A and B are shown apart, each in its own frame.
Chain A
Amino acid sequence: AQTVTQSQPEMSVQEAETVTLSCTYDTSENNYYLFWYKQPPSRQMILVIRQEAYKQQNATENRFSVNFQKAAKSFSLKISDSQLGDTAMYFCAFMKHALFASGTYKYIFGTGTRLKVLA
């Protein structure tokens, strides 16, 4: 079964500094997709960044970038120049074909890392 592990329940970082959140996953598939979602105190989940497993180049979105190591099954998120608004719960997610319905993709989420940005 596929699993997603986030080993850091909580982290903190000073404003303007850089922080890296770790994520590992387990799968036997070759083609899949990885995501980082942000859940601020408002609770609404927001997509931060997405990575296709077949792409070797690491995805970047402004201050957010990933370090995707396919062989190691690792997918870490780096936040540069951290801002107070980055304070949130961050979820790593893996997407695959669902076994229960042909053609449908579903997420498998990790347990989350709570990030606090300190002023």
Chain B
Amino acid sequence: NAGVTQTPKFQVLKTGQSMTLQCAQDMNHNSMYWYRQDPGMGLRLIYYSASEGTTDKGEVPNGYNVSRLNKREFSLRLESAAPSQTSVYFCASSASSTSPTETQYFGPGTRLLVL
């Protein structure tokens, strides 16, 4: 039982390049989330998927797209990377997004550097 896994662990991009961050969970969770963590700031929600087949914008969705490929996998795509997207990206999952007592489990993060 690996929990939440993310690939890659680290990536360097040039401005304008595209890439997809992958996330998978093996806990049979319905809800999945993408956050970014910037220095001196708490985690901010980019997009989330309350259940398979649905996705919704979070606080900072501009410049990103997501795909809930199936119940296990939730990917985050940067179509044209910008230096402002340099950050650490965390994927998380929970059994439900409509109950505050459901713990969110986080992946180990992807460190992205955009030059």
Please list the residues of chain A having a beta carbon within 8 angstroms of any beta carbon in chain B: 4, 32-33, 42-47, 50, 52, 91, 93, 95, 100-101, 103-112
Helix, strand, loop or mixed for chain B's interface?
A: loop
Asked if A109 contacts B98 (CB within 8 A), the reply is no
Q: Say which one of B13-21, B38-46, B76-84 lies at the interface with A.
A: B38-46
Closest chain A residue, CB of each to CB of B108: A44
Other-chain residue from B42, B56, B104 in contact with A4 (beta carbon distance below 8 A) = B42
Q: How far is the CA of A21 from the CA of B104 in the complex (A)?
A: 22
Known: A103-B98, A105-B97, A106-B58. A44 touches B104 (CB 8 A): no
Asked if residues B41 and A107 are in contact (CB atoms below 8 Å), the reply is no
Listed in ascending order, the chain B residues whose CB lies under 8 Å from chain A are 40-45, 48, 50, 56-59, 88, 90, 92, 97-101, 103-104, 106-109
Q: Which of B41, B45, B103, B107 contacts A44 (CB 8 A)?
A: B107
Q: Is B90 a contact of A45 with CB atoms below 8 Å?
A: yes
Q: Which of the listed residues A46, A103, A107 has the most CB atoms from chain B within 10 Å of its own CB?
A: A107
**A-side contacts of B104, CB under 8 Å:** 47, 107
Contact (Cβ within 8 A) A104 B98: yes
Contact of A106 among B45, B99, B109 (CB under 8 A): B45
- Could you say which residues of chain A place their CB within 8 Å of the CB of B100? 32-33, 95, 105
Residue with the greatest number of chain B CB neighbours at <10 A, chosen from A47, A103, A106: A106
Collect the chain B residues with CB atoms within 8 Å of residue A93's CB.
42
Residues of B within 8 A of A104 (CB): 48, 50, 56, 97-98
- Set of chain B residues within 8 Å of A45, measured between Cβ atoms: 43, 90, 92, 106
Known contacts A44-B108, A104-B48, A104-B97; A109 and B42 CB within 8 A of each other: yes
